Amino acid sequence: MLRTLAFLTAAIASTAGFAAPARFVERSVDVHGKTYRYQVFVPADIKQHPAVVLFLHGSGERGDDNQKQMSQGLPPWLKQHMDFPAVVVIPQAPDDTEWTDPADADMAMAALEKSVKEFHGDRKRLYLTGLSMGGYGSWQLAVDHPGTFAAAAIICGGVGALSDERALYVHGVPKGEDPFTWVAEKIGKLPVWIFHGGDDNVVPTEQSRKMNAALVKRGAEVKYSEFPGVNHGSWEKAYATPDLWAWMFSHTR
């Protein structure tokens, strides 16, 4: 009897310990003949068909070390919230490229697709978020892949060009058309929560104000949060917004 109890106790302990803890794993994907590495946050005791979030980093995190993109925005927040219930895909754009470049956009979507297949993600619960350059990239992906994402949170990003020296703007806008109106039309019914610092001197706050106004004019589902006195690093306040994830995950495609 005692042996049986001991065996059952050991079996239960073994089964309980089988569930892997929340963790970050490294992966790679081949796109257009080039291999790109990326990170994935995997929840503890991952459920069948989890929600999947795609995160696009800013300009300062570009490279090929598969580490810099973990230093700002959502990844540090995740490290403090390891009970997050969704898979998060965290690609890295190469140096001197933009998320709005077709090659980088294709790579981000390929990393998302590979992660959805590997972790059996729910295609009705795919979500998009990005900051700064990644905010621009988020608008680009929303335009290029309408109907793919259930909701988006876009932080200190924009649509129009910041300078003549970078290709950081939403591509595809027909000549002579207002880019904000055009993007609002192209993203369709995608619910968006826009965040921006009120004193941003890198990406002008007006970029998000105009995008919000264009979506409001179309009657789209949009929320807009502007942080007074905050410069470019508005992502810390954005990802700490208490209702953000409840709002995001309340939407399904």
pLDDT surpassing 60 at residue 114: yes
Which of 153, 207, 150, 151 lies closest to 178 in space, CA to CA?
Answer: 207
**Dist CA 100 CA 213 (whole Å):** 22
**Dist CA 48 CA 45 (whole Å):** 10
Tens-place pLDDT, residues 191-241: 999 999 999 999 999 999 999 999 999 999 999 999 999 999 999 999 999
**Dist CA 42 CA 150 (whole Å):** 20
In the prediction, which pLDDT does 1 show?
Answer: 42
Whole-structure pTM value: 0.91
Least confident of 2-16, 77-91, 160-174: 2-16
**Dist CA 54 CA 129 (whole Å):** 6
